[in-house]
């Protein structure tokens, strides 16, 4: 089953305690698409500039990602620069240059209209909503956002949240959105007041917790919260894209299954953690370009092992 993703395709300049990289291929949609490509067919809606070459596109194509919806515009691609020098769990943004995204008007190729799963990766909520409205027939909508949109553009974000089956968000952002620091209460607020039927709150290196409303599973009464682990890693080289890679593994697995059940949702959270753990091992998208199915399954077993009581 195909996932259609809209979000940023970017060049990232990143500094971590392990070093600095200039303009590596990144962006929320890129990390997401690469991670999801190990589970299902992915189609992309985004815009890039003249600095995005055939070689960059080949990185996506080699993973079987459909780039027909990747518009090439005059000007420069989105550029993000940030560091993790103070806190490996929280990106510090130095600069964001929207560039070609400023004028972006998303168009959906006719061949994408049968996509069953829609992922609204991090980008201006106005664009997220526009793509959502252009795809009224999808089976499921899942989305991500970031602190910037919550604090400065909440009114634009609210109509997007109202469209979501599942919101993926980190714990700091959940606290902002829920208006309360406690994760359980923040999740409760999000589920009862803002629209998503389930929320997955990510705790960086400590894993993720899923919270469910009664509306999420057809034929089920809802489910208790579920905590999936993260793999304790000695070397976190670059956390950029960990959240999007989590989302890619999570949603890619869901799209590969015949229906959404509580077990499928929980397993998907494990696969999310697996793909996030690969993403942080190297700078940018380097690791996600070259992981194998066997490595994914091996790490999935490790996730089970570290969280299973005999």
Residue 223 or 228 with smaller CB distance to ligand AMP: 228
Q: Please report how close the Cβ of residue 35 comes to ligand AMP at its closest, in angstroms.
A: 10
Q: Please report how close the Cβ of residue 157 comes to ligand AMP at its closest, in angstroms.
A: 12
Q: Please report how close the Cβ of residue 110 comes to ligand AMP at its closest, in angstroms.
A: 27
Picking from 151, 114, 123, 148, the residue whose alpha carbon sits closest to that of residue 47 is 123
Rounded to 10 degrees, what is the CA torsion of 154, 155, 160, 164? 60
Q: Is the Cβ–Cβ distance between 216 and 196 less than 8 Å?
A: no
Interacting residues of 53 by C-beta distance below 8 A, sequence separation 6+: none
Residue 14 or 191 with smaller CB distance to ligand AMP: 14
Q: Where are the beta strands (DSSP E) in the chain?
A: 3-6, 10-16, 19-26, 42-48, 70-72, 78-83, 92-97, 117-120, 140-144, 166-170, 198-202, 208-212, 226-228
Q: Please report how close the Cβ of residue 302 comes to ligand AMP at its closest, in angstroms.
A: 22
Please report, as ranges, the residues that interact with ligand AMP according to CB under 6 A: 8, 10, 12, 26-28, 31, 80, 91, 96, 122-123, 148, 240-244
The torsion angles phi and psi of 180, rounded to 5 degrees, stand at -155, 145
The tokens for 163 are 């469209």
Residue 115 or 285 with smaller CB distance to ligand AMP: 285
Q: Please report how close the Cβ of residue 123 comes to ligand AMP at its closest, in angstroms.
A: 5
Residue 75 or 262 with smaller CB distance to ligand AMP: 75
Residue 79 or 299 with smaller CB distance to ligand AMP: 79
Q: Please report how close the Cβ of residue 170 comes to ligand AMP at its closest, in angstroms.
A: 8
Where would I find the H helices in 179-306?
A: 183-189, 242-255, 262-279, 286-289, 293-306
Residue 34 or 191 with smaller CB distance to ligand AMP: 34
Return the ∠ at Cα 306 (arms to 301 and 310), rounded to 5°. 95
What is residue 76's DSSP assignment? P
């Amino acid at each position: 089953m195909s996932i259609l993703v809209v979000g940023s395709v970017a060049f990232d300049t990143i500094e971590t305690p392990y070093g600095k990289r200039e303009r590596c291929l990144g962006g929320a949609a890129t990390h997401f698409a690469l991670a999801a490509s190990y589970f299902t067919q992915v189609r992309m809606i985004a815009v890039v500039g003249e600095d995005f070459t055939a070689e960059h596109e080949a990185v996506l194509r080699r993973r079987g990602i459909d780039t027909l919806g990747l518009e090439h515009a005059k000007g420069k691609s989105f550029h993000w620069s940030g560091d993790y020098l103070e806190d490996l769990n929280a990106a510090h943004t130095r600069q964001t240059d929207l560039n070609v995204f400023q004028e972006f008007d998303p168009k959906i190729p006719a061949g994408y209209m049968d996509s069953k799963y829609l992922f609204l990766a991090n980008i201006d909520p106005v664009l997220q909503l526009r793509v959502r409205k252009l795809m009224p027939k999808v089976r499921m909508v899942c989305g991500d956002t970031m602190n910037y949109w919550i604090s400065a553009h909440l009114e634009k974000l609210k109509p997007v949240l109202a469209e979501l089956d599942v919101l993926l968000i980190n714990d700091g952002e959940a606290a902002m959105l829920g208006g309360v620091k406690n994760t359980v209460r923040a999740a409760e607020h999000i589920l009862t007041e803002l629209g998503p039927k389930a929320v997955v709150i990510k705790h960086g290196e400590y894993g993720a917790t899923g919270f469910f409303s009664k509306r999420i599973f057809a034929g089920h009464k809802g489910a208790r919260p579920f905590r999936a682990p993260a793999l304790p890693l000695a070397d976190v080289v670059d956390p950029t894209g960990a959240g999007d890679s989590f989302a890619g593994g999570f949603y890619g697995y869901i799209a590969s299954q015949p229906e959404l059940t509580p077990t499928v949702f929980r397993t998907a959270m494990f696969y999310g953690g697996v793909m996030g753990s690969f993403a942080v091992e190297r700078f940018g998208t380097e690791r996600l370009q070259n992981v194998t199915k066997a490595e994914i399954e091996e790490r999935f077993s490790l996730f089970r092992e570290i969280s299973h009581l005999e």
